[in-house]
Amino acid sequence: MEKIWAYLIHLGYNMWLDWEHPSYKDSDIVSTDFLRCEKEVWDKLLEEMPKNGINMVVIDLGEGIKYKSHPEIAVKGSWDIELLKNEIRKMKDLGLDVIPKLNFSATHDNWLGRYARSVSTDEYYSVCKDLIEEIVEIFDKPRFFHLGMDEETYEHQRDMLYVVVRQYDLWWHDFYFLVGEVEKRNVRAWIWSDYLWTHREEFFKKMPKTVIQSNWYYGNEFSTNIEYVKSYLELNEKGYDQIPTGSNWSCEENFPLTVEFCKKYISEEHLLGFLQTSWRPTTSKWLDTHLRALDLVKRGKKLYTY
């Protein structure tokens, strides 16, 4: 089976700090009441993806859609459903497998608006169910559904105005609920794997093998003594399917290095492919960063097939 060479692109970008944060006023990581996705940049990146060997695009949707089930989540400029469907058709015509992503981590769910402050309530479960059901319909039963679920710790939320960290069985209860909503629609769930870093024994006891794992590490030293790097080996030993993730967020060479390392240490059977992202909004300010990230995928793919 052909390996996955995926790029994560942002439609919505309200996934870090609170809407009116006093200390990060002009930072990209603060949530806004308007969409930070420029159509011209989006179109340019879609055009460049196949040229760089990319065969899958993961769309971080967030507040970027005027959901029929919950239009109150939308911000100024959020896309109509028909526009998104047209873009999905366009991407498929370019040979791209199109995968939705909604990050349900309590650290990255500002896109949920007021529902981000009702985590683990009956209202929250109802909204999550509605959104997953609607997205699966819009994407016409996608191959995978990325649920995020990363960095839900106090350390990651220490600068936020409102802190929510699910622990112990509550984290697993909500995780199983989300995975169940995806799987009952015959779609495979996909998550970030960093819960493993601080809950190793529990993770391997409770994490279903059906869930695709994306461990991530954005440095340039791939030593097995590094906790984040070692997780690739542990997931492989336990038989989980993996899509390792790289980024040029902090190191330009990270993606090719990730490919080299994972090709050597992850079994062919469980290495589904790779995911690259710049973790930047889809705006002209960051266009060059996105284009470099795409070029790094091409370089990584050459290393894999050498």
User: Over the chain, what HEC string results?
Assistant: CCCEEEEEEECCCCCCECCCCCCCCCCCCECCCECCECHHHHHHHHHHHHHCCCCEEEEECHHHECCCCCHHHCCECCECHHHHHHHHHHHHHCCCEEEEECCCCCCCCHHHHHHHHCCCCHHHHHHHHHHHHHHHHHCCCCCEEECCCCCCCHHHHCCCCCCCCCCHHHHHHHHHHHHHHHHCCCCEEEEECCHHHHCHHHHHHHCCCCCEEECECCCCCCCCCCHHHHHHHHHHHCCCCECCEEECCCCCCHHHHHHHHHHHHCCCCCECEEEEECCCCECHHHHHHHHHHHHHHHHHHHHHHC
Give the pLDDT score at 306. 56
Q: In terms of pTM, does the model score above 0.85?
A: yes
With 80 as the cut, is the pLDDT of residue 46 above it? yes
Return the amino acid letter for 231. S
Q: pLDDT digits over 187-225, tens only? A: 999 999 999 999 999 999 999 999 999 999 999 999 999
Burial 13-35 (b: 16+ CB within 10 A, else e): bbbbbbeebeeeeeebebbbeeb
Domain 4-305 classification at class level: alpha beta
How far apart CA 101 and CA 103 sit, in angstroms, is 6
What mean pLDDT, rounded, does the chain reach?
Answer: 96
The residue-averaged pLDDT of 246-267 equals 96
What are the pLDDT digits (tens) for 51-94?
Answer: 999 999 999 999 999 999 999 999 999 999 999 999 999 999 99
- CA distances to 29, 219, 236, 264 from 154, rounded to whole Å, are 17, 23, 28, 35
From residue 167, alpha-carbon distances to 15, 173, 202 in Å are 20, 10, 12
pLDDT level of residue 24 (50, 70, 90 thresholds): confident
What is the tens place of the pLDDT at every residue in 115-127? 999 999 999 999 9
Q: Which residue has the higher pLDDT, 32 or 25?
A: 32
pLDDT in tens, 138-153: 999 999 999 999 999 9
pLDDT > 80? residue 5: yes
Cα(280)–Cα(271) distance, integer angstroms: 26
The structural domains of the chain, with segments of one domain joined by +, span: 4-305
Confidence of residue 21 (pLDDT cuts 50, 70, 90): confident
The answer, yes or no, to whether residue 26 has pLDDT greater than 80, is: no
16 in Cβ contact with 31 (< 8 Å): yes
